[in-house]
Chain A
C-alpha cells in the first residue's frame, strides 16, 4: 500500500509519477439540460496504464469516456491528450479509438473491410492495408476471417473484430465502453485475460468503462470509482478494496457493512463511519470470548445464502444494525450452514479491519 487512496478533486496533491500523462481531464463538467451527468471531474490517466472507470449506470462514466473520444463536448473544463488541448476537436482528429458496447461493426462490410476502415479513409493503399488487416486479425486470433460478414460471427468474435478495428490505427489511447457486457460469464472471463494480455503486448493506454467491480479489480492498474457524476476515489484495485475512501466505494466494491453513529461508538470505540469486509468477520457461539484487540458484537442470523464455495450470513445486531458475514464452506455442509438461521451468534473481527470512510466526496479519514 505504497500510496494513500487519493480522492479527486485534488490533481495537484497527487505526485505525478515518472510516466507521462496520457489523458488529463481538467474540471470537466457535462450537463444535459437540467441533468448534471459529469460534475467537475479531474483525472490524470498515465501513459500505458490500464485504467477503469467504474460505477453504476448513470454515474457519468460513459459520458466521461465519450468526452475523451470527442462524441460529446464538455459544458466546461478541458480535455488534454498527451498535453494537447483537444476540447472541441472532432473525433476524427483525435489520436484515440473506441470499442463500442454494441461493437458497431458495419453490417454491409466484411470483416476485412471493417478492420481496414480506418486505413481506407486515411488513404492507405490496398496492399499495405491488407497486410495490416491480416496482422490485426492475427493479434485477436481471427486469422483468415477477412471474407466473413459480421452477422456470421459469434458475439465473442464480433468483439475481437471491433478490437482489431480500433487497434489498427495504432492509437495512443484505446477507449472501451463496457465491451464485454453482452458476453456470457465464461467468455467474459476469457476475454478479460485476453484484453489484459493484448494491452500489455501493445503497450497502449486502455481506458475501460465497466459497472462490474470484479472486472475492474481483475484488469486495472488503477481505477476511478464514479458516483452521481463525481469521482469518489482513484486508486489501485487493492487500495480501492482495502482502503475504500467513501461509504459509497465500500458498498459498490464489495459489501458495504457500514457501522456508524452510536453503534460505532459501542463496537469500534469511537465515532465515525467504518466499513468491515464480510470475509474478515468470524462467526462463533454467543458465549465465546473475544481478544482485547478485537471488535465484537452479538446478533441473530436473519438469513443464510448458501453459494456453493461459501455462504453469506445476514446478521441483525442487537443494537439495530445489519452486517453481512461470508464464510468459506471449508467443512460446512449446506445443511449446517442453513441450520444457523434464527440462531444467536457472536461476531468478532480484528480492529485493523475497521476501515474508516467518509460519506462521499471528501478525503479519507486516517485512523
Chain B
C-alpha cells in the first residue's frame, strides 16, 4: 500500500518537473507557428510565414552562419586539445597531475562573465601586438575554453573504464604502441569522442556571455536574439530563430546521451 502511494507521488513529482522545464519551451515553439504578429492567446491561425521572413533576413542568415562556424571551430579545437589532455593525465604520472586535471575542468565552473572579461582584455592586449581582432577567430578561442572541458571529461571517464588488460592483451599479441592505439584504444573511446564533440557543439551553439565579450560587432544567433527580442516587430522572427536554436542544441545532446549510454558527462554551464 505504502509502496503504491509512494510510486504515485514519485510519478507526480517527475511529471511536475517535466512540465516546469518544458512548458515555456513549448510556448515558444507554438508562437513560432503563429500567424499573427502579436503574441495573443489563444492562437487564431497557424502558418509558416515567419520562417520565410526569418530566412529572408540577411542578418539572421549571417548570424546563423557565424554561430555554425564558431561551434565547428571550437569543437575541433576541443576535440584535439581535450583528448590530448585526457590521454596525458590518464596515461602518465607526473608532478602536478592532479593540479592540471583541476585546472582543465575549472573554466566550466568559472562565471562566464569573468572568462569573458579576461578574454576581452587578452584580445585587446593581443591586437596591439598584431594578434587577431574581434571576430570569428576570437569567438572560437573563447568558446574553446569551456568546450575543451566537456571533451576532456568524456574521454577521461572512458579511458578510466577501459581495463588495463585490454591494451596489454594487444601488446601481448604482437601489436606495438601505435597499432594498439589504432586498433584497440581509439575504437574504445570513439563514442566518447563523438559524444564530447556533440556536447561541445551544443554548448558553443547557444553561448552568449563569453561571446558578447569576444565577438566585437559580429552577431552570433543568440546575440542576435538578445538584441532583437524586445522589438515588437521582430518578435515572431525571434521565435522562429529560437526554435532553430533549440533544435540544433537538442539534437546533439540527445545523440551524445545515446552514445554514452546515458551515463556520459553532460556538463553544461
Contact = CB atoms under 8 A, between A and B. Distances in A.
Interface of A: 69-71, 90-92, 96-98, 100-102, 104-108, 117-118, 120-122, 165-166, 169
B171 interface: yes
Contact of B168 (A104, A108, A118): A104
A100 B169 CA distance: 8
Q: SS class of chain B's interface: helix, strand, loop or mixed? A: helix
A90 B179 CA distance: 14
Contact of A90 (B171, B184, B188): B171
A102 B175 contact: no
B2 interface: no
Nearest to B188: A108
Contact of A108 (B163, B172, B187): B187
Contacts of B166: 104, 106
Given A117-B183, A121-B179, A121-B183, A104 B163 contact: yes
23 contacts: A69-B172, A70-B172, A90-B176, A91-B168, A92-B172, A92-B175, A96-B172, A97-B173, A98-B168, A98-B169, A100-B165, A100-B168, A104-B165, A104-B168, A105-B169, A107-B188, A108-B187, A117-B175, A121-B173, A121-B174, A165-B169, A165-B173, A169-B173
Contacts of A100: 165, 168-169
A90 B183 CA distance: 18
Interface of B: 163, 165-166, 168-176, 179, 183-184, 187-188
- Which one of B171, B173, B179 has the highest number of Cβ atoms from chain A below 10 Å of its Cβ? B173
Contacts of B173: 92, 97, 117-118, 121, 165-166, 169
B195 to A, nearest CB: 16
A104 B183 CA distance: 14
Contacts of B165: 100-102, 104
Given A91-B172, A100-B165, A107-B188, 20 more contacts: A69-B168, A70-B172, A90-B171, A91-B168, A92-B173, A97-B172, A98-B168, A100-B169, A101-B165, A104-B163, A104-B169, A108-B187, A108-B188, A117-B175, A118-B173, A118-B174, A120-B183, A121-B170, A121-B179, A169-B174
Given A108-B187, A121-B179, A102 B163 contact: yes
A104 B170 CA distance: 9
A302 B252 CA distance: 69
Nearest to A115: B173
B171 A92 contact: yes
A88 B184 CA distance: 24
B188 A71 contact: no
Nearest to A71: B168
B174 A122 contact: yes
Nearest to B176: A92
B141 to A, nearest CB: 35
Given A102-B163, A108-B188, A121-B183, A92 B169 contact: no
B163 A92 contact: no
A105 B170 CA distance: 9
B172 A117 contact: no
- Which one of A90, A105, A108, A165 has the highest number of Cβ atoms from chain B below 10 Å of its Cβ? A108
Contacts of A107: 188
A118 B188 CA distance: 18
A133 to B, nearest CB: 13
A293 to B, nearest CB: 55
Contacts of B170: 106, 117, 121
Contacts of A106: 166, 169-170, 183-184, 187
- Which one of B163, B171, B179, B184 has the highest number of Cβ atoms from chain A below 10 Å of its Cβ? B171
A115 to B, nearest CB: 10
Contacts of A165: 169, 173
A92 B167 CA distance: 11
Contact of A98 (B172, B175, B187): B172
